[in-house]
Amino acid sequence: MPRSRARRDAPLEEREFHSWLSRHLTGPSRGLLPVGDDAAALRVPRGRVAVLSTDSLVEGTHFLIESPAASVGAAAANVSLSDVAAKGAQPAALLLDLIVPVGTPRRWAEDLVRAADRAGASVGAPLVGGDTKPGPTRTVVSTVLGWGRPDRLVARGGARPGDVLVTTGTVGRGGLAAHRLGRTRSGRTSARKKALVGILDIRPRVREGLVLAEFAHAMLDTSDGLADASWLLAGASGCRTVVEEGLLPLALGLRASASSPGHRRSLAFYGGDYELLAALPAGTVARARAAVRRTGGRLTVIGGVERGRGAVLRNSGRSVRMPLGGWRPFSVPSPPIP
């Protein structure tokens, strides 16, 4: 076995791993201190404020033991990047903490870190530091630092009656991925491998968030599903959100995969989409759509904001209470994969 291959197959050891990081993660874009130092340092751009978000992925809850390390690493970076994007900020740096059982192969950590770094660097937020610790379950904690303009930070609580609800991308991509994974519960087939990658395929809408911040009264990402996001936006804003089911841009293949209208709705609202849900003044929708299109993205009107409370789903003129939906990891038992 080649020597480099043998090192990668060896169990992870903290000092050697940090030495590897300092050799492979270099460059002025990573800050004023070298990777592997006790802290990272970045210059704050003039007229900007810091926007930070942190998140974690836990084996058994967010990914499985056979999930590819690179997919886990990219997803870990992207979940935090998505939160920063939803505030209309530009990501600038990524921190990553690894908690892994003793004996975890070094190659698993290396593949994960490389993928997380690529994901962050692709939107201007390279990996600048982090930590490694032993623990009973593989856990990846990501923190993203971004820079935002104080006059364009978009909270989830600013929606107003008369606003138009819009979403980027499609609805139900996460539910469809979970459905496909659920149909390949055992074995090591190519379909299983594809499904394991698909459930971690997160695409933070950084460029869309930057341009939407110019128009939006309120914005958040749909990490736990569009239904959950509509409830959160309504509660924070003290208004009622109304989503027109017939306007939802459903993910390709979702209709064909659903066994009934109820199943289709559960897939659509399952969670894991990581799109942006925003409330815009009605007169800005055309300009916002054009701005998002220039980023290569897609913006769809899906409803509006009214006086009142709560979240409503409307279909063919009939209104019902929006299903709670969404991913709830603290549910007992845990939500099944549909």
Helix (H, G, I), strand (E, B) or coil at 127: strand
Instruction: Look at residue 75 in the predicted model and tell me its pLDDT.
Output: 97
**Which of 93, 63, 92 shows the shortest CA–CA distance to 76?**
63
Instruction: Look at residue 237 in the predicted model and tell me its pLDDT.
Output: 98
Top-ranked range on mean pLDDT: pick from 50-54, 193-197, 260-264: 50-54
Task: Give the model confidence (pLDDT) of 125-165 as tens digits.
Answer: 999 999 999 999 999 999 999 999 999 999 999 999 999 99
The residue ranking higher by pLDDT, 173 or 329, is 173
**Which of 276, 15, 92, 64 shows the shortest CA–CA distance to 166?**
276
Is the peptide bond preceding residue 261 cis, with omega within 30 degrees of 0? no
Calculate mean pLDDT across residues 39-45: 91
Instruction: Look at residue 336 in the predicted model and tell me its pLDDT.
Output: 45
Instruction: Look at residue 270 in the predicted model and tell me its pLDDT.
Output: 93
Calculate mean pLDDT across residues 230-249: 97
Residue 335 pLDDT > 50: no
Helix (H, G, I), strand (E, B) or coil at 105: strand
Residues 170 and 251: beta-carbon distance below 8 Å = yes
Instruction: Look at residue 303 in the predicted model and tell me its pLDDT.
Output: 98
Band (99; pLDDT cuts 50, 70, 90): very high
Residue 226 pLDDT > 70: yes
Q: What is the enclosing helix (H) or strand (E) of 300?
A: strand 299-306
Calculate mean pLDDT across residues 64-76: 96
Count of Cβ atoms closer than 10 Å to residue 206 Cβ: 24
Domains recognised in the chain with CATH numbers: 3-37+46-150 (3.30.1330.10), 164-321 (3.90.650.10)
Supply the mean pLDDT for the chain. Answer: 91
Sheet with 164-168, side-by-side order of all strands:
218-221, 276-280, 164-168, 299-306, 240-244, 310-315, 318-321
DSSP character at residue 50: E
> Which tokens sit at 77?
């970076």
Instruction: Look at residue 186 in the predicted model and tell me its pLDDT.
Output: 65
Residue 318 pLDDT > 50: yes
Pairing of strands 218-221, 127-134: unpaired
CA–CA gap between residue 239 and residue 251 (Å, rounded)? 28
Residues 323 and 175: beta-carbon distance below 8 Å = no
Residues 24 and 14: beta-carbon distance below 8 Å = no
- CA dihedral (151, 157, 158, 160) in degrees, to 10, reads 180
Name the H helices within the chain. Answer: 3-9, 14-24, 69-85, 106-121, 173-182, 190-198, 206-212, 226-237, 254-257, 261-268, 285-294
Residues 295 and 208: beta-carbon distance below 8 Å = yes
Instruction: Look at residue 47 in the predicted model and tell me its pLDDT.
Output: 95
* Residue given tokens 């800050």 in the structure block: 31
Residue 324 pLDDT > 90: no
Count of Cβ atoms closer than 10 Å to residue 326 Cβ: 21
CA–CA gap between residue 128 and residue 95 (Å, rounded)? 6
Task: Give the model confidence (pLDDT) of 110-120 as tens digits.
Answer: 999 999 999 99
Where does residue 140 fall: left (phi above 0), alpha (psi -120 to 50 degrees), or beta otherwise?
beta
> Which tokens sit at 319?
């209104």
